[in-house]
């Protein structure tokens, strides 16, 4: 019996999130504050995601944070960013707005971001759009240790700067069928 349980545990660990990905229609990460529809706001608090951090994460943050860690690459827009999710229920769209800590300053922030990024990574999306907001690949590496990937069939990414890190995110953290990259330049007056 113990042998069977060990094999079952190993099977689950090896195929975690692969067998039954929750499917969403769209993930849209936008810097706009207004959005059509009436999204259900998900504003997590650390008390709702109370679990012990892994030993490895505990070690990394044992002595506190030497510097804050941004959730996205472009810190200029991070405080304005919202993660919108669309899910189809019986041909009717349901909208969710996920508001994560954009600058990680504490263990509680780490727990929230780890919990919800892990949930998003275990989902699949038919469409995705990243406008001026790309998840920080260094944060993903720090939290998960290996290249966790977002599964998006058709993804559109808008790029204006920091191209190297954005391509790093695309190569290491994004899986899909089609990728469209739009380059644009910010006008500064």
pLDDT band of residue 14 (cuts 50, 70, 90) is: low
Q: What percent of the chain has pLDDT over 90?
A: 21
* pLDDT band at 68; cut points 50, 70, 90: confident
In this predicted model, what pLDDT tens digit does every residue of 117-167 receive, in sequence order? 999 999 999 999 988 788 888 889 888 877 789 999 999 998 877 788 888
pLDDT of residue 54: 76
Beta carbons within 10 angstroms of residue 7's beta carbon: 10
Check residue 65 and give its pLDDT: 67
CA distances from 133 to 58, 74, 90, 113 (A): 28, 7, 31, 15
Segment (H or E) for 81: none
Cα–Cα distance between 6 and 68 in angstroms, integer? 39
Give the per-residue pLDDT at 154.
97
């Amino acid at each position: 019996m113990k042998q069977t349980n060990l094999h079952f545990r190993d099977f689950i660990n090896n195929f975690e999130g692969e067998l039954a990905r929750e499917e969403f229609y769209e993930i849209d990460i936008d810097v706009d504050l207004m959005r059509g529809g009436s999204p259900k706001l998900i504003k997590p608090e650390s008390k709702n995601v109370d679990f012990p951090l892994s030993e490895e994460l505990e070690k990394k943050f044992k002595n506190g944070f030497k510097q804050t860690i941004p959730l996205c690459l472009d810190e200029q827009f991070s405080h304005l960013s919202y993660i919108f999710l669309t899910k189809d229920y019986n041909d009717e769209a349901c909208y969710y707005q996920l508001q994560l800590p954009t600058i990680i300053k504490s263990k509680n922030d780490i727990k929230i971001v780890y919990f919800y990024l892990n949930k998003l990574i275990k989902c699949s999306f038919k469409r995705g759009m990243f406008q001026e907001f790309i998840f920080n690949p260094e944060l993903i590496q720090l939290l998960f240790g290996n290249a966790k990937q977002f599964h998006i069939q058709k993804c559109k990414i808008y790029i204006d700067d920091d191209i190297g890190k954005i391509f790093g995110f695309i190569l290491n953290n994004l899986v899909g069928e089609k990728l469209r990259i739009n380059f644009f330049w910010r006008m500064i007056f």
